[in-house]
Amino acid sequence: MTLNLKSHIADVPNFPKEGIIFRDISPLLASPEAFSFAVSAMSDAVKGCGAGAVVAIESRGFIFGAPVAMRLKLPLVLVRKPGKLPGDREQVSYGLEYGTDTLELKRGMIAAGSQVVIVDDVLATGGTAAATADLVTRVGGHVAGFVFLIELLGLEGRSRLGDRRTASIIQY
């Protein structure tokens, strides 16, 4: 079955600021058929990459990471904003267009030397995904690949992810 997933993405002009077209995934999530199709496509895109876990990035990455992990029968590891995870954590700060952000990963969730696949909703500039890959490496893991629902090609985020396997289901 083929489904036009772009028809389930709403374009919101001038949000969150003038000149930006926000790609709203709410209609896709509201359609069980489209959501299931998207998760299946994301799972298929990384099947066989050798990953032993799925790493999902807060917050919308959780929406896709959890069902991808279930489909692939892999553990789910969460990368969160500061102060959201208990225990011993590794932290990375990274630059954004207007400032910095920080992500954390709980130590002990990824076995040293294990391969993971990183899941998020959108690949834009690649900063968040690259920071997540840095976290995985800091705790001794290896990134087998990335998968995104949407890739904004004009922002060239893929170039920040190196030569790792990178897949996106919808491109703009």
Instruction: Give the per-residue pLDDT at 2.
Output: 77
Query: What three-state secondary structure class fits 29?
Result: helix
- 160: helix, strand or coil: helix
Catalytic residues: 60, 97
pLDDT digits (tens, 9 = 90+) for 61-71: 999 999 999 99
Q: How many whole angstroms separate alpha carbon 38 and alpha carbon 48?
A: 18
Q: What is the pLDDT of residue 99?
A: 82
Task: Tell me how far CA of residue 32 lies from CA of 36, 40, 45, 72, 76, in angstroms.
Answer: 6, 12, 20, 19, 22
Model pTM?
Answer: 0.96
Is 85 a residue whose pLDDT tops 80? Answer: yes
pLDDT attached to residue 96: 80
The answer on pLDDT for 1 being more than 70 is no
Residues with Cβ < 8 Å from 95, sequence gap 6 or more? 127
Yes or no: say if 44 and 68 are a contact pair by the CB < 8 Å rule.
Answer: no
| Residue pLDDT, tens place only, 98-152 | 789 999 999 999 999 999 999 999 999 999 999 999 999 999 999 999 999 999 9
Q: Is the per-residue pLDDT at 11 higher than 90?
A: yes
pLDDT confidence bin for 8, thresholds 50/70/90: very high
CATH of 50-171, one of 3.40.50.2020, 3.40.50.300, 3.40.50.2300, 3.40.605.10: 3.40.50.2020
In the numeric block, the tokens 């087998």 are attached to 144
